[in-house]
Amino acid sequence: MAIQLTSKAFTEGDNIPKRFTCDGTNTSPQLAWTGIPNGSKSLALIMDDPDAPGRTFVHWVLYDLPPDLIELAEGYKGVGVAGVNSYRKTSYNGPCPPPGSTHRYYFKLYALDAALNLSSGSTKEDIEKAMQGHILAWGQLMGKYGR
């Protein structure tokens, strides 16, 4: 089963508006989803940039979100646990590619059959390791941003 992940701010493959980037207010975009399967105990969200030089750059990590949650409002702050991104912050940091390049940014939502119960400040790698064997469904939304 696939999760359908959408945003009012942009559609699949389109440009992410400037206000959600380092060139704007660096506010997280609204995200909504459908297709969370029965038996889900938690949700996890990872936003990353596979086009960053050298390695995938992580912009946002949230986990242990309640499975009945159906949306994150623009500028979301609230339930769940924030993981550490590549800026070494436990917050959203929007797209910020080097000048002259356009990068792809993937928002990936996972429905899990267990809560991860990791400590605050866990990394994407910690979360991916803990999710192994617990993913019931997932979906993604990709947007682009260039400078």
What CATH number does the domain containing 15 carry? 3.90.280.10
Number of structural domains the chain divides into: 1
Q: How far is Cα of residue 116 from the mean position of the Cα atoms in its chain?
A: 16
Residue 39: exposure state from Cβ atoms within 10 A (0-12, 13-18, ≥19): exposed
**Per-residue tokens: 49:** 């940039």
pTM of the model: 0.96
3-state secondary structure at position 147: coil
- 17 token code pair: 């508006």
Tell me the per-residue pLDDT of 32-76, one tens digit each, with 9 for 90 and over: 999 999 999 999 999 999 999 999 999 999 999 999 999 999 998
CB neighbour class for 119 (10 Å; exposed up to 12, middle 13-18, buried from 19): exposed
pLDDT in tens, 70-98: 999 999 888 899 999 999 999 999 999 99
What pLDDT is recorded for position 128? 98
Domain containing residue 45: 4-146
